[in-house]
Chain A
Amino acid sequence: MSVLNLDAEGKEVLMMGNEAIARGALEAGLQVAAAYPGNPSSDIIETLAKVAGEMGIHVEWSVNEKVAVEVAAAAAVSNGNALAAMKQNGLNVACDFLLNLNLTGIRGALVVIVADDPSGISSSNEEDSRIFAKLADLPLLEPATFHEAKEMVRYAFDLSRQIGNPVIVRSVTRISHARGNVVLGPLPKERPPLRFDTSFPLCPLPTALTHPVLHRRLAQAADLMADSPFNTYDGPDAPELLIITCGAGWLFAAEAVDLLGLGSRVGILKVGTTWPLPTAFLLKHLKTTERVLFFEEVDPVLENNVLQLYAQHNRELPRIEFRGKGSGTVPAIGELSPDLVMDCLSKVTGVQPPEIDPAYAARAKRAIDGYAPVRSLAFCAGCPHRASLWAIKQAIALDGRNGVLFGDIGCYSLGIMSTGFFQLKTLHAMGSGAGMACGFGSFERLGVDQPSLAICGDSTFFHAVVPSLINAAHQQSDFLLMVLDNGGTAMTGFQPHPGTATDAMGKPAPRMSIESICNSLGIETFVRDPFELQTATETVYDLIQKRSGPKVLVLRQQCALVRSKKEGRRYRMTIDSQRCIGEECGCNRLCTRVFKCPGLNWDKGLNRSSIDEAICVGCGVCADVCPTRAIVREGA
């Protein structure tokens, strides 16, 4: 049995923030959970899927976030308890539906978890999705610890059912992807029966009627959350400085106050119910101070809302100096950290952090500058994307018309960097490479003669590329879409998708064929193995010579991490020291300087290439890159 559904009330366990969120949902009587994978949110559904059978609940990886929220909403309008989870970009995809669902309301409970990624650690952007709560007039909760994440999600289900509308819980990387102590609560024995009441429809029109209802529901949420245990104050009765914070900022602020010895002078007000604001609680504490400092990630959402509250109540409040992102005291971008919070606090209070021995600091600086070479992002050893991009690079060069490779979000996004030979020229949203390439392939009459190419992943194909292909087929756009099919949603941890033969719960599922879908649209479709470099290169080259509407090439090879775990090494790689003649060769170290798979190394002493046996996974591709055939593959 997983710790996730362990029936052991009161037991204290170590849980990842995402597991705590999932546990909170189970403690609330979860019945349906759906998501599309995206870090830092993926583990929520992944851990729920593992216990779905035992718990008798429905858990799915949906084709995209909009469908995930729709699947969850189907339960939530039928008296059920449902959860949808996503990363910040995912909420963009889902919000069209969500901003209509809020007007009809629900007849059960729906908790939407959005895990933001301040600093874009595993994302293309760092958007602050809390703005959506205000836009949609939906309540927003933000946990500050792992245990609180669990408690808050459980509470969010109750709140959602009481107000009859979805509730958003916003986590961040430092909560979702971190681990901490969580005390388990009871798992409910009974869950509400799922039934859709057909006596009246759910329709957002006329808005003159539904919009006021939405506002009433939000006001009701404000009343219910007024005395929430998630809003706390710790510090002196009349603090010199009041820190107002939420989410991960709270833990950093508490530690910074300790390290600077400011506990008797500075108070910390933690807001857990960030929208609508807990006005009475905030006003009570704003009356006690003349200086306020905000810490939150990423945008000044709480800050601006509190400033608005202050403006509305300025007659009953003291003159307050507000510091935060608006004043430039706290950086306007990126995630918070203990040192950043300590620096800001130090700036505002004039109290300096403890100093380190200057000789040690100098040695430390030398260590970083001289002994820790930067590790650029790179494809894994044996990654099929390296081979695919090598083939694409050769084909575009052979073609000579300066072809453009449009791309999107996935491991293959690294194609924009040196590890992908700088082949990718655009990187935006899921599926946007195909859409842009479809456009660029339609501009012949405008004098465009550069070939239009796009890559996407197999999971991305289903998520967002299919509509672009339909568009391309209808518009007869001349472009080549290459689907880098590595057999799963690799970047987020190999979750299944409609093209895999199992579902989230590990049960057999019908496998959608990428090539059948493309063929059914009347699009010529080919399948190649990128490890067969020569054939893959020739196919890409041939396809960009054809001016006959859209073409699809599936470059299919399993993710190296999955393959090496399942099959071990395909080949044992060695260097033929007679053939590798080092700098004298004339190849200018093509294998390590340009192809640079991490399984290869250049032995400066021997002036030869070498194989790192702890890293090489034996894909064998480098043997075809070496012009003198000095890299040798033997059956492992």
Chain B
Amino acid sequence: MKDPYNVIVAGVGGQGNVVGSQLIGAMLVDMGYRVTIGETYGASQRGGSVMSHLRISKARQYGPLVPPRCADLVIALEPSEAARVLGRYGNPDTVGVVNSRPVYPVDVISGVLSYPPADELLQTVESLCAKTYVLEATERALELGNPILANIIMIGAVAAAGLLPITEEGLEQAIREHMSADKVDINLTAFRIGGEMVN
């Protein structure tokens, strides 16, 4: 893995972005990495763009923000957020793992702005990545009963694609430490579904 390896988890407030990043970070610290996670979000709990920046290194503690054009991996829980983040942090070697389900901004709902057509949006995202995995993560999460599980489905896909050295066992331990025991089973199911989606 490149050092530092820079990951950006992008999404919309309420998609479980921060918790997902925290679980990844906890797993990697247990494996001996120095991890820094910075979160960027506005004042509202829901509906705003949210990014978590993960800096992963064996050498030193990096700052909480990835410099522009320096993302190695972008995990986007929402496709227009993938475009936004790749537009600023992407480079020709960036790998993208993207949930295809849109969350419409309030100005799109009101008709002031329009949301880009799905196929054009995904083409734009792909044009900024060396490799792109597009997943219907929210649809699968809704089948599991809760749209927020899309974040763990995405992490499962990242692990199965070999993009980060994380495992089901590592996730199980991190969930037990950072969430609660009753959340383990459903999250591990989501993790496995994500893995199946890229294999």
Chain A residues at the B interface, C-beta cutoff of 8 Å: 3, 12-14, 121-122, 145-147, 174-175, 177-181, 248, 251-252, 254-255, 259, 337-339, 342, 356-357, 360, 363-368, 370-381, 411, 413-414, 418-419, 490-491, 561, 589, 592-594, 596, 598, 600-602, 612-615
In the bound complex, residues from chain B placing their C-beta under 8 Å from that of A379 are 44, 47
Instruction: Out of B40, B69, B83, B106, name the residue touching A371 (CB < 8 Å).
Output: B83
A490-B46 Cα distance, complex, nearest whole Å: 12
The smallest C-beta distance from A481 to any residue of chain B, in angstroms, reads 23
Query: Which chain B residues in 126-146 approach chain A with CB under 8 Å?
Result: 127-128, 138, 142
A411-B125 Cα distance, complex, nearest whole Å: 33
Given A370-B116, A589-B111, A375 contacting B43 (CB threshold 8 A): no
Given A179-B35, A371-B83, A592-B110, A255 contacting B62 (CB threshold 8 A): yes
Given A338-B65, A589-B111, A372 contacting B80 (CB threshold 8 A): yes
Q: Are B37 and A179 in contact, CB atoms less than 8 angstroms apart?
A: yes
Q: Are A414 and B64 in contact, CB atoms less than 8 angstroms apart?
A: no
Q: Are A122 and B42 in contact, CB atoms less than 8 angstroms apart?
A: yes
In the bound complex, residues from chain A placing their C-beta under 8 Å from that of B36 are 146, 178-181, 251
Does B165 sit at the interface, judged by CB under 8 A? Answer: no
A13-B34 Cα distance, complex, nearest whole Å: 10
Query: Which chain B residues in 46-101 approach chain A with CB under 8 Å?
Result: 46-49, 61-69, 80-81, 83-84, 86-88, 90-92, 101
Q: Are A180 and B109 in contact, CB atoms less than 8 angstroms apart?
A: no
Query: Which chain B residues in 1-57 approach chain A with CB under 8 Å?
Result: 12, 14, 22, 25-26, 29, 34-49
Does B103 sit at the interface, judged by CB under 8 A? Answer: yes
Q: Are A367 and B37 in contact, CB atoms less than 8 angstroms apart?
A: no
Given A180-B61, A413-B43, A600 contacting B88 (CB threshold 8 A): no
Q: Are B110 and A380 in contact, CB atoms less than 8 angstroms apart?
A: no
A381-B47 Cα distance, complex, nearest whole Å: 9
Q: Are B67 and A259 in contact, CB atoms less than 8 angstroms apart?
A: yes
Number of B residues near A (Cβ < 8 Å) is 65
Does B105 sit at the interface, judged by CB under 8 A? Answer: yes
A411-B48 Cα distance, complex, nearest whole Å: 13
Which A residue's beta carbon lies closest to that of B54? A179
Q: Are B39 and A373 in contact, CB atoms less than 8 angstroms apart?
A: no
Q: Are A371 and B111 in contact, CB atoms less than 8 angstroms apart?
A: no
Q: Are A375 and B38 in contact, CB atoms less than 8 angstroms apart?
A: no
Which 8 residue pairs spanning A and B have beta carbons closest together? A251-B63, A372-B84, A368-B87, A178-B64, A380-B46, A371-B83, A367-B87, A338-B67
Which A residue's beta carbon lies closest to that of B12? A375
Q: Are A371 and B45 in contact, CB atoms less than 8 angstroms apart?
A: no
Q: Are A179 and B22 in contact, CB atoms less than 8 angstroms apart?
A: yes
In the bound complex, residues from chain B placing their C-beta under 8 Å from that of A380 are 14, 44-47
Instruction: Out of B37, B44, B80, B124, name the residue touching A366 (CB < 8 Å).
Output: B124
In the bound complex, residues from chain A placing their C-beta under 8 Å from that of B83 are 367-368, 371-372
Apart from the given pairs A122-B41, A379-B47, A380-B44, 14 other A-B contacts in the complex at a CB distance below 8 Å: A177-B38, A338-B66, A364-B87, A367-B84, A368-B88, A371-B84, A372-B80, A372-B84, A374-B113, A377-B44, A596-B110, A598-B46, A598-B104, A614-B147
Which B residue's beta carbon lies closest to that of A339? B68
The smallest C-beta distance from A557 to any residue of chain B, in angstroms, reads 16
A374-B48 Cα distance, complex, nearest whole Å: 9
Does B169 sit at the interface, judged by CB under 8 A? Answer: no
Q: Pick 16 A–B contacts, CB within 8 A, sort by A.
A: A179-B22, A252-B63, A252-B65, A338-B67, A338-B68, A339-B67, A367-B125, A371-B83, A371-B84, A372-B80, A372-B87, A373-B108, A373-B113, A377-B48, A601-B109, A614-B142
The smallest C-beta distance from A164 to any residue of chain B, in angstroms, reads 34
In the bound complex, residues from chain B placing their C-beta under 8 Å from that of A174 are 38, 63-65
Which A residue's beta carbon lies closest to that of B115? A373
The smallest C-beta distance from B146 to any residue of chain A, in angstroms, reads 10
Q: Are B47 and A375 in contact, CB atoms less than 8 angstroms apart?
A: yes
In the bound complex, residues from chain B placing their C-beta under 8 Å from that of A375 are 12, 47-49, 105-107
Instruction: Out of A3, A14, A338, A371, name the residue touching B121 (CB < 8 Å).
Output: A371
In the bound complex, residues from chain A placing their C-beta under 8 Å from that of B65 are 174, 252, 337-338
Instruction: Out of B61, B110, B125, name the residue touching A418 (CB < 8 Å).
Output: B110
Q: Are B44 and A411 in contact, CB atoms less than 8 angstroms apart?
A: yes
The smallest C-beta distance from A340 to any residue of chain B, in angstroms, reads 10
In the bound complex, residues from chain B placing their C-beta under 8 Å from that of A248 are 63-64
A168-B105 Cα distance, complex, nearest whole Å: 41
A254-B67 Cα distance, complex, nearest whole Å: 12
A122-B39 Cα distance, complex, nearest whole Å: 12
In the bound complex, residues from chain B placing their C-beta under 8 Å from that of A145 are 61
Q: Are B104 and A367 in contact, CB atoms less than 8 angstroms apart?
A: no
Counting chain B CB atoms within 10 Å of each CB, the highest count among A363, A411, A614 belongs to: A614
Does B120 sit at the interface, judged by CB under 8 A? Answer: yes
In the bound complex, residues from chain A placing their C-beta under 8 Å from that of B147 are 614
A248-B63 Cα distance, complex, nearest whole Å: 8
A419-B104 Cα distance, complex, nearest whole Å: 14
In the bound complex, residues from chain A placing their C-beta under 8 Å from that of B80 are 371-373
Does B114 sit at the interface, judged by CB under 8 A? Answer: yes
Q: Are A360 and B128 in contact, CB atoms less than 8 angstroms apart?
A: yes
The smallest C-beta distance from A487 to any residue of chain B, in angstroms, reads 14
A258-B48 Cα distance, complex, nearest whole Å: 33
Does B177 sit at the interface, judged by CB under 8 A? Answer: yes
In the bound complex, residues from chain B placing their C-beta under 8 Å from that of A357 are 92
In the bound complex, residues from chain A placing their C-beta under 8 Å from that of B116 are 370-371, 373
The smallest C-beta distance from A149 to any residue of chain B, in angstroms, reads 12
The smallest C-beta distance from A371 to any residue of chain B, in angstroms, reads 4
The smallest C-beta distance from B106 to any residue of chain A, in angstroms, reads 4
Instruction: Out of B12, B41, B121, B138, name the residue touching A121 (CB < 8 Å).
Output: B41
A248-B64 Cα distance, complex, nearest whole Å: 9
A81-B107 Cα distance, complex, nearest whole Å: 50
Q: Are B35 and A596 in contact, CB atoms less than 8 angstroms apart?
A: no
Instruction: Out of A178, A360, A601, name the residue touching B38 (CB < 8 Å).
Output: A178
In the bound complex, residues from chain A placing their C-beta under 8 Å from that of B25 are 14, 179
A612-B147 Cα distance, complex, nearest whole Å: 11
Given A372-B80, A376-B105, A612-B104, A251 contacting B62 (CB threshold 8 A): yes
Instruction: Out of B43, B49, B128, B177, name the residue touching A491 (CB < 8 Å).
Output: B43
Given A342-B67, A373-B80, A380-B44, A181 contacting B138 (CB threshold 8 A): no
The smallest C-beta distance from A607 to any residue of chain B, in angstroms, reads 12
In the bound complex, residues from chain B placing their C-beta under 8 Å from that of A368 are 83-84, 87-88
Q: Are B46 and A561 in contact, CB atoms less than 8 angstroms apart?
A: yes
In the bound complex, residues from chain B placing their C-beta under 8 Å from that of A3 are 177
A121-B51 Cα distance, complex, nearest whole Å: 13
Q: Are A377 and B111 in contact, CB atoms less than 8 angstroms apart?
A: no
In the bound complex, residues from chain A placing their C-beta under 8 Å from that of B91 are 356, 360
A254-B161 Cα distance, complex, nearest whole Å: 32
Q: Are A373 and B109 in contact, CB atoms less than 8 angstroms apart?
A: no
The smallest C-beta distance from A541 to any residue of chain B, in angstroms, reads 26
